[in-house]
A and B are shown apart, each in its own frame.
Chain A
């Protein structure tokens, strides 16, 4: 029988430094991925993710705990409380996370929390919504 992998845990003998993570990071990409435009890591192991105002997608990383497993991986609890492990690559002012599907997320360290996400507000709206009522499946229905 195949042994099911168990959730990873940081090896206490090899503590990973979180100091280079703590702070606020602003995402460089602008796409439809459900990842936060701003990500803040707190010293107590809690993170918060924010989407740009008006975003139609909720952040998959909204608030939860993070655990630096080693220098190149981090485990984070997601919006549905699932723990997911991301590959991690940090430098002084850049952070790259790669999720389990291989999606790369690039962040730049923000000098000031709170302001930058709004400046990058998601004004790339979707196409105007179509009103219902014209679908053949709705034939005979009327618009009250």
Chain B
């Protein structure tokens, strides 16, 4: 695991190539720890309220695909409640807990066993609280525990005290490895009489084969073979749903993850198969319990190749693939065109086949990112009866893919431009990625947020995390280049708002986590760095009003990024902040940049823009670089205007002269900036060249 000088959140080491570099016994230790653990988290001190409540759950340690990743889920257990004092039995294998008891997701950050036999494990994780009502998770922050082997802890051979990020003891965690698999589930296959059931692809690949790759212990049950057709050949979604509710063998989703598959002749809603159990069809409000597949469709268009003219149920390979695909939807997966794996659509496989031809181009595996999701998405996302289908993956926490270790010697440093900012002000954060090794290493081509390598989140004083992503993203993302020894990439980001709302909505200390990702030969390398700022409360009524607008008007952020005159509420919000004594220096550049750039028929207003700026104006180095570019673009225009004005009237000459003066003033201001605040060499060079 790479550790930067800043806080490094690269999770779950040591994956891929790093495993090969370890001594064989170390690699063996990690492999031996893989699997599902039954965990119990108890309150330790002080006793009193809540003493009859603890949390049970699972912890999943996966090393498949040469990657190490760790995640877990915690469910409340009231000793005095319905479950009583009865604890899950480790001998019973992977435990299943009631859905309503779900409370926390454990997002593994690092998992480092020592050389002991059996080893103790330093485990660091983020704890995410789940709100059943909204379906949202809140990041409660970091926790650490050293799990040590102990002789007798009531059947849990590993135990440790969980510490908060401030070092406070928050619980005792006990863990028992209960299975080499990560999750378990049952698929019940019912059918209309005589129809084919999709048990395999005809070439030896079965359900168990595909799900072994994702660490699921899957049991396939031959269910009812005598399902009656309610109204003929074609089945509506409602008929599929009602039949599932009536005919499935078991419906105790709080003690078993059971997915229902129904084979019928034809589907009213589609040709091959669908996951019908969501939205209006889900009459019992228990989503993702069942799927339907049809055997009777006969393809007739040439791109279906050898399937043309055959009943779909006879096309064993494609029919089985459709069943896998729909069950993938029931497990919360969406379409995935990354490869020709299970969650790509059959149409895409047929229409985009090259060599091998369709249907032999089907891959009998989920794509790498879907494999990771099936192993490590929170339980409510994947289990039947969990959260409804239709949320984006960005809305749930997940243990990082840890697909590749960041190359040795790479360091990420993150720091705020100002440590103290008033409520409502944008927060500027600078970050540097440096190659401190003596050899060239692959890194991202750019740290420009628009290039897609940088993202992050802000955790407010209440522990609520809000993500920010590139607002503008270039098409050529994921580009990499070789970083020379000692080379440093620098950039900055101005933060105000993300997809979850205002990023700094309340006074207090906010943690800012920056993640930089880039693709390497071994997969995605990710490094994270963290810093913090303190947001001060409103000082005056005027400040409170201006801050409220900055925090509540989404277009303020769009105006910050895009500029232009078209977002009237965004522009007026920035202007209001400009008139506020506490915010003016923080937003002056935002308004100046907007004015300095032409917008349709409006010419650049450089004089007005520069009049807003002085030495107190807060500007990140990215903004200094942008200002230098504006001066550079303006110089030829100003020179041309001056030349024309010299031959025309005096008023124009005066205006041109004013713009020339503005260029000079802005240049002088930028030169002062690069003298007084740390900037990267390329930015200094840009300014000095003006």
- Which 6 residue pairs spanning A and B have beta carbons closest together? A54-B499, A125-B501, A118-B473, A125-B500, A81-B274, A56-B395
Contact status B52-A140, CB under 8 Å: yes
Contact status A7-B271, CB under 8 Å: yes
Q: Which residue of B lies closest to A45 (CB)?
A: B351
Q: CB-CB contacts of B348-383 with A at 8 A, as 1s and 0s?
A: 100110000000000000000000000000000000
Q: Residues of B contacting A1 with CB < 8 Å?
A: 231
CA distance A128 to B505 in the complex (A): 9
Q: Residues of A contacting B507 with CB < 8 Å?
A: none
Contact status A80-B50, CB under 8 Å: no
Q: Residues of A contacting B390 with CB < 8 Å?
A: 34, 57-58, 60, 79
Q: Is B138 positioned at the interface, with any CB of A under 8 Å from its CB? A: yes
Q: Is A83 positioned at the interface, with any CB of B under 8 Å from its CB? A: yes
Interface of chain A residues 40 through 96 with chain B (CB within 8 A):
44-46, 48, 51, 53-58, 60, 62-65, 77, 79-83
Q: Residues of B contacting A138 with CB < 8 Å?
A: 76
Q: Which residue of A lies closest to B503 (CB)?
A: A125
CA distance A83 to B266 in the complex (A): 13
Q: Is A133 positioned at the interface, with any CB of B under 8 Å from its CB? A: yes
Contact status B499-A4, CB under 8 Å: no
CA distance A2 to B389 in the complex (A): 32
Q: Which residue of A lies closest to B134 (CB)?
A: A129
> Of B41, B278, B497, which is within 8 A of A125 by CB?
B497
Question: Which segment, of B416-424, B458-466, B672-680, faces chain A?
Answer: B458-466
Q: Is B236 positioned at the interface, with any CB of A under 8 Å from its CB? A: yes
Contact status A121-B471, CB under 8 Å: yes
Q: Is A106 positioned at the interface, with any CB of B under 8 Å from its CB? A: no
Question: Which segment, of B311-319, B329-337, B625-633, faces chain A?
Answer: B329-337
Q: Residues of A contacting B464 with CB < 8 Å?
A: 128-129, 131
Contact status B271-A44, CB under 8 Å: no
Contact status B460-A54, CB under 8 Å: no
Contact status A141-B53, CB under 8 Å: yes
With known contacts A53-B470, A64-B345, A125–B498 Cβ distance under 8 A? yes
Q: Is B216 positioned at the interface, with any CB of A under 8 Å from its CB? A: no
Q: Residues of B contacting A4 with CB < 8 Å?
A: 231-232, 234, 236, 268
Q: Which residue of B lies closest to A130 (CB)?
A: B131
Q: Residues of B contacting A57 with CB < 8 Å?
A: 390-392, 395
Contact status A142-B50, CB under 8 Å: yes
Interface of chain B residues 487 through 530 with chain A (CB within 8 A):
497-502, 505
Q: Residues of B contacting A128 with CB < 8 Å?
A: 460, 464, 466, 500-502, 505
Contact status B272-A81, CB under 8 Å: yes
Size range of the chain A interface in the assembly:
35 or more
With known contacts A83-B269, A129-B131, A63–B337 Cβ distance under 8 A? yes
Q: Is A111 positioned at the interface, with any CB of B under 8 Å from its CB? A: no
Contact status B271-A54, CB under 8 Å: no
Q: Is A126 positioned at the interface, with any CB of B under 8 Å from its CB? A: yes
Q: Is B103 positioned at the interface, with any CB of A under 8 Å from its CB? A: yes
Contact status A6-B498, CB under 8 Å: no
**B569 CB to nearest A CB, Å:** 12
> Of B130, B389, B393, B466, which is within 8 A of A132 by CB?
B130
Contact status A63-B348, CB under 8 Å: yes
CA distance A133 to B266 in the complex (A): 48
> Of B132, B335, B502, which is within 8 A of A62 by CB?
B335
Q: Residues of A contacting B276 with CB < 8 Å?
A: 80, 82
Q: Which residue of B lies closest to A117 (CB)?
A: B473
Contact status B171-A132, CB under 8 Å: no
**A106 CB to nearest B CB, Å:** 18
Contact status A7-B270, CB under 8 Å: yes
Contact status B348-A6, CB under 8 Å: no
With known contacts A34-B390, A121-B469, A141–B103 Cβ distance under 8 A? yes
Q: Is B428 positioned at the interface, with any CB of A under 8 Å from its CB? A: no
**A125 CB to nearest B CB, Å:** 4
Q: Is B576 positioned at the interface, with any CB of A under 8 Å from its CB? A: no
> Of B133, B268, B345, B466, which is within 8 A of A65 by CB?
B345
Q: Residues of B contacting A60 with CB < 8 Å?
A: 390
15 example contacts (A-B, Cβ-Cβ < 8 A) are as follows A4-B234, A45-B351, A53-B473, A54-B467, A54-B469, A56-B394, A63-B348, A81-B272, A121-B499, A125-B502, A130-B134, A141-B76, A143-B140, A144-B74, A144-B127
Question: Which segment, of B188-196, B554-562, B583-591, B614-622, faces chain A?
Answer: B554-562
Q: Is A115 positioned at the interface, with any CB of B under 8 Å from its CB? A: yes
> Of A82, A113, A124, which is within 8 A of B554 by CB?
A124
> Of B171, B231, B268, which is within 8 A of A7 by CB?
B268
CA distance A118 to B554 in the complex (A): 15
Q: Is B475 positioned at the interface, with any CB of A under 8 Å from its CB? A: yes
With known contacts A60-B390, A81-B326, A6–B268 Cβ distance under 8 A? yes
Q: Is A31 positioned at the interface, with any CB of B under 8 Å from its CB? A: no
CA distance A126 to B497 in the complex (A): 11
Q: Which residue of A lies closest to B268 (CB)?
A: A4
CA distance A81 to B326 in the complex (A): 8
Contact status A129-B391, CB under 8 Å: no
Q: Is B183 positioned at the interface, with any CB of A under 8 Å from its CB? A: no
Q: Is A19 positioned at the interface, with any CB of B under 8 Å from its CB? A: no
Interface of chain B residues 652 through 674 with chain A (CB within 8 A):
none
Q: Is B162 positioned at the interface, with any CB of A under 8 Å from its CB? A: yes
Q: Considering residues B76, B127, B237, B348, which has the most beta carbons from chain A within 10 angstroms of its beta carbon?
A: B348
Q: Is B210 positioned at the interface, with any CB of A under 8 Å from its CB? A: no
With known contacts A123-B557, A126-B500, A56–B392 Cβ distance under 8 A? yes
Contact status A118-B470, CB under 8 Å: yes
Contact status A80-B351, CB under 8 Å: no
Q: Is A15 positioned at the interface, with any CB of B under 8 Å from its CB? A: no
CA distance A17 to B136 in the complex (A): 44
> Of A77, A126, A133, A144, which is within 8 A of B270 by CB?
A77
CA distance A83 to B270 in the complex (A): 5
